[in-house]
Structure formats: C-alpha cells, structure tokens
C-alpha cells in the first residue's frame, strides 16, 4: 500500500510538471478566480466578525470580485437565432412540468431562439432524463439541452435516491459530452413549493424562464 501511494504521488508530481503550459495556466487562473470569489463571498457573510485580520489582508481584486458577485448579473443582449435547443420533459407531474416548459419556451424565445429550433421530447420520469440527455447530446442535433421535471418528497427515501441520481446523471452528461445541459428539475418538499416555482401566479416565479 505504501509503495502504491508513493507511486501515485510521483505520478501526480510528474503530471503537474507536464501541465505547465500557457493554456493550463490560463485555465488555472480562471478556476482560482472562481474559487476566490466563492470563498470571499462566504467569508464576508459568515466570518467577518471572527477574523478581521483576514479581511484586512484581502486583495483589491477580491473586493472587486465580491462587489461583482453582489451586483445583478447582466449577460447583455443575447442572440440565439442560430442555436438549436432540446427540451427534455417528464410525464410525471404533468401540470407543473408543462408550466416549466412554457417558461422555458418563453425564456429561449426572449433570447431570439426561433420556435422551429426548439425541440421538445418526453420521457416517463426524472430518472430517465440523464439517459435521454446523453442520447440527445451524442446525436449532435442540438447545441444545448434543458431538462425539466418535478420531484416531490414522499414518505420514503425514494425522493432522495432519485434526486441524487438525476442530479449526478445530468452533471455527468455535461462533463462527458461537453454539451451544455441545464438542470431544470424542481426538488420540492410538497406541492405548494412546486406551485411557487413553476408558476408566476400568487407571487410565485416560474423557474423555467
């Protein structure tokens, strides 16, 4: 076991040396900036009163990043006129999922995606979403995929198992196919929470938009 760990450490060291290229350094800076932003945000929210010395040592770039995180995100004017969007939806909880899909259609239309470029396909339930998303991504017929579904907690652990499997499955499709797959699955404790997140009525907000 000791020999295995030594070998692994040597392999890791060699791999790090091999990755010292301009492109890798640029990617590393990007990842580091993202980590810095998240840690600075969490730090300022929870730990400022306990670690003032650390706060004083924050760099100017950290402060700028924090202010950017606190401001409203603005992507500017988006032009999706050349994009093909695949929407995968579940048949379970049809009413709520249909509301989410209507929100998705409104959102992508606002981004100038033509109606004829929006493809909607159904699967039985949320558990089937990752598999369908992988097949669609590998087909090369769409530029991005949006998965829409609703999971409501019941009396057993079924909710937790399905929710975890679907979440990991969709992420794996992102990483494995390099096709953007948007996670549009609501994981709610009761139907009231679902209504507030799938409709704009009574103070709710349709998260599909």
- End-to-end distance of the chain based on CA atoms, in angstroms? 52
Q: CA–CA separation, 15 vs 113, rounded Å?
A: 42
Would you please indicate which residues are annotated as catalytic (active-site) residues? 158
* Token pair listed for 111: 């981004």
CB atoms within 10 A of CB 144: 17
Q: CA–CA separation, 153 vs 190, rounded Å?
A: 6
Exposed/middle/buried for residue 30 (C-beta within 10 Å: 0-12, 13-18, 19+): exposed
Q: CA–CA separation, 76 vs 178, rounded Å?
A: 24
Count Cβ neighbours within 10 Å for each residue of 89-125 and write b for 16 or more, e otherwise. Answer: bbebbeebbebbbebbbebbeeeebeeebbeeeebee
Q: CA–CA separation, 113 vs 85, rounded Å?
A: 8
């Amino acid at each position: 076991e000791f020999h295995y760990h030594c070998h692994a450490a040597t392999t890791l060291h060699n791999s790090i040396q091999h990755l010292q290229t301009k492109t890798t350094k640029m990617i590393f800076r990007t990842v580091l900036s993202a980590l810095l932003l998240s840690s600075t945000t969490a730090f300022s929210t929870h730990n400022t009163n306990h670690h003032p010395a650390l706060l004083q040592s924050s760099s100017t770039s950290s402060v700028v990043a924090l202010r950017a995180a606190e401001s409203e995100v603005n992507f500017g004017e988006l032009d999706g006129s050349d994009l093909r969007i695949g929407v995968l939806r579940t048949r379970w909880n049809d009413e709520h999922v249909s509301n989410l899909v209507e929100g998705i259609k409104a959102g992508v239309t606002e981004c100038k995606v033509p109606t004829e470029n929006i493809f909607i396909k159904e699967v039985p339930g949320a558990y089937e979403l990752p598999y369908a998303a992988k097949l669609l991504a590998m087909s090369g017929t769409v530029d991005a995929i949006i998965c829409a579904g609703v999971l409501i907690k019941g009396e057993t652990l079924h909710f937790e198992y399905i929710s975890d499997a679907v979440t990991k499955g969709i992420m794996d499709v992102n990483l494995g196919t390099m096709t953007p797959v948007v996670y549009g699955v609501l994981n709610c404790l009761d139907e009231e929470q679902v209504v507030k997140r799938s409709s704009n009525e009574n103070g709710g907000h349709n998260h599909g938009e």
